[in-house]
Amino acid sequence: MLALNETWYLVLAAMIFTIGAVGLLTRKNPLVMFMCVELMLNAVNLTFVTFSKALDDIAGQAIVFFVMVVAAAEVVVGLGIIVAIMRRRQGADADDISLMRG
Amino acid sequence: MRVEMFTFLLTAAICLGGSLGVVLLRNPVHNALSLVATLFGVAVLFIQQGAYFLAAIQVIVYAGAIVILFLFVIMLLGVDRAEGFDREPILGQRPAAVAAGVAILGLSLTALLSVGARVTGQASTLAAIDGTEPNINALAKVLFTDYVFAFEITSVLLTVAVVGAVVLSRKAGPAIDLAEFPDGTTAALMQAKHEAAFEELESEPEAEAALNTEDETPEGEAEITEEALR
């Protein structure tokens, strides 16, 4: 049986990141796009923790802590923006918000 | 080793299934629940690698707060219906997105698998993970010494985020001027308004004719209080 080493975690994180990126590019509901951003952030967090274990360095986990804080702040402000947009235009999706298109 | 492998494979399946659910399911509520599955899977992988504090934070903050926030907004806006996939604003956007995904995955897998089984890089000498020290102690030590400035900036960021969310989501409207109301008057006016609305609700259509004279007073009161409240 194959031994479980860091590469397994890193490959899994790469797959989750890819799924999140493709979802961000294809979905149009702003809420679902935010969820895909969360997926990508979690994949990166998993990579950080894996390297923290592999290189025996706690600083990787400290970085994950900061990523989580920034993700929470980002979600709060992003959902505030979405609520403000939806209040103005019911059922708007990402394609409708194109006023600033050049 | 066999148990670890089994745990990893099971958790990886949950993670991948959850993330595919986030992307592929049509209903936003199902997307949010799939996201919870992925976040729990990542928390299990954190535990497996000794990051106990981060696993707890992952469950409490991500699954407990952020996804609940998502669900609140979904319910608040009433967008829990399938989105239309009929129109595509940019020609060939979806094939291009899938091609970009294949490129990202191929690039990262090549980078990961070409170096062999071991991670390259230098092991830490300053912040090594000591087996005897609890994880949370080690993390706190490094957070409050090496990263203390970033930690303080984080509190500023959270304050900015809270203020920004309040500013973005509050409805514009005239504020109630409390100076107009001396002590206790506001509460009395609200009480009168409430009672008037209650009486209006109680009066049946057939009884309205009989109670016509009595009905006028509470309605008049309600109008007065509404004007006063503005």
Q: Report the pLDDT value the prediction gives residue B101, as an integer from 0 to 100.
A: 92
Work out the end-to-end distance of chain B between its first and last CA atoms, rounded to an integer number of angstroms. Answer: 70
Contact B5 A2 (CB under 8 A): yes
ipTM of the complex: 0.91
Rounded mean pLDDT of A25-41?
91
**Is B189 inside any structural domain?**
yes
Which of A11, A17, A19 to probe by mutation at the B interface, max B CB count within 10 Å? A19
Instruction: Say if pTM beats, i.e. exceeds, 0.90.
Output: no
Mean pLDDT of chain A: 87
Rounded mean pLDDT of A1-25?
89
Query: Which residues on chain B are in Cβ contact (under 8 Å) with A89?
Result: none
**Is B209 inside any structural domain?**
yes
**Is B53 inside any structural domain?**
no
| Percent of chain B whose pLDDT exceeds 90 | 37
**Is B207 inside any structural domain?**
yes
Containing structural domain, residue B221? 178-229
Rounded mean pLDDT of B156-178?
81
Report the domain count for chain B: 1
**Is B201 inside any structural domain?**
yes
**Is B214 inside any structural domain?**
yes
**Is B211 inside any structural domain?**
yes
**Is B71 inside any structural domain?**
no
A96 touches B at CB < 8 Å: no
The tens digit of pLDDT for each residue in B51-99 reads 999 999 999 988 888 999 999 988 888 766 655 555 666 777 888 889 9
What does each C-alpha distance from B210 to B203, B204, B206, B213, B214 come to in angstroms? 10, 10, 8, 8, 9
Q: Report the pLDDT value the prediction gives residue A44, as an integer from 0 to 100.
A: 96
B163 touches A at CB < 8 Å: no
Sketch out chain A's domains with CATH numbers.
Answer: 6-88 (1.10.287.3510)
Burial B12-31 (b: 16+ CB within 10 A, else e): bebbbebbbbbbebeebeeb
Stronger pLDDT, B177 or B160, i.e. the higher one: B160
